[in-house]
Amino acid sequence: MSRVHDALRRAESLGTPPAASAALPALASMAPAQAAVAEPGAFHGLLEQIKEVPWDPNPEAHIIDHTKVTDAPAEEFRSLRTRLNHIQGLQPLRSLVVTSASPAEGKSFTAANLAVVQSHLQGNNTLLCDFDFRRPIAHNLFQIERSPGITEYLQGKAALSEVIRKIAGTNLYVMPAGETVANPLELLNLPEVKTMLTRLPQLFKWIVIDSPPLLFAADANLLSTLCDGTLLVVRLGATTIDSVTRALQSMSHNNVLGVVANGAKRGELYSKYTYYHSYYYAEDEKGKEAVAEEEEES
């Protein structure tokens, strides 16, 4: 946990006033990943049954355009992808929870763009799951229907093939939250959740899960015990060390891979455009420190 805090403090020391921006992680606290135990042949033929929807992200969502892979924001998320893919080569890592200590820290934005850049790789089928049943947003980001979604599947109202959408022309699949439910945590405790999260890795190279904040609901804590790793998103100038400490202490299973530092503002990088930058510090298994930037055109 101390390595996570050290990474956050170093990121804060370089940050200037926060802005709505992207971020990259401090891959700091490594823990053994949970291996998927899936039955051979489960969900066979599922991908062929999934409905395809057009690529039509919300213009205000700042989703990386899969047709403009050379843009600066895409490059920085590719750096994050490279680090995670490296870890995946060393240990079982297919399902990843993206969460934060508190709301409005950029977890959904980070989860969506991480899923997008992962799907850019050939054969890298990637599934973005909106498990934030309390304040779902994935359907708005990609302008797809919210229902049927995960809640309908868990309640037996829809088949799994009906709650997943394939984004046309990409390797990206999106599973929206679904209809509003009165008991989100009780729904997440159903055995079908564990079964789904252990079998889906047969079909997808990466499963990226957007979850509620750790300090406002127990959902992320529960989901982290069912997945291989967790990324914690923080907003520079807003998230406190105390909230990060309490968020990490609330977790039953410490599989935090790193911290995503979001919202640091920098000056102009290019002569004609102003970008927002986020820095991350990382310590790899050899103890080497790295730094990177994330830019977004204003």
Q: Are 188 and 129 in contact (CB under 8 A)?
A: no
Closest CA relative to residue 16, chosen from 271, 243, 290, 274? 274
Number of domains in the chain: 1
Instruction: Give 281-288's long-range contacts (Cβ < 8 A, gap of 24+).
Output: 281/7, 281/10, 281/11, 281/26, 282/7, 282/25, 282/26, 282/27, 282/28, 282/83, 282/258, 283/3, 283/7, 283/26, 283/27, 283/28, 284/27, 285/30
| Domain-embedded: residue 251 | yes
Range of the domain at 10: 2-31+48-293
pLDDT on residue 71: 66
pLDDT on residue 8: 59
pLDDT on residue 285: 41
Separation of alpha carbons 127 and 46, rounded Å: 13
| Domain-embedded: residue 208 | yes
Q: Are 138 and 147 in contact (CB under 8 A)?
A: no
Q: Which residues in the chain land under pLDDT 50?
A: 16-42, 266-298
| Domain-embedded: residue 276 | yes
Separation of alpha carbons 127 and 151, rounded Å: 16
pLDDT on residue 265: 60
pLDDT on residue 283: 41
| Domain-embedded: residue 101 | yes
| Domain-embedded: residue 59 | yes
pLDDT on residue 28: 37
* CATH number where 284 lies: 3.40.50.300
pLDDT on residue 1: 53
| Domain-embedded: residue 41 | no
| Domain-embedded: residue 136 | yes
Structure tokens given for 21: 């921006």
pLDDT on residue 111: 96
Rounded to two decimals, the pTM is 0.77
SS3 71: coil
pLDDT on residue 11: 53
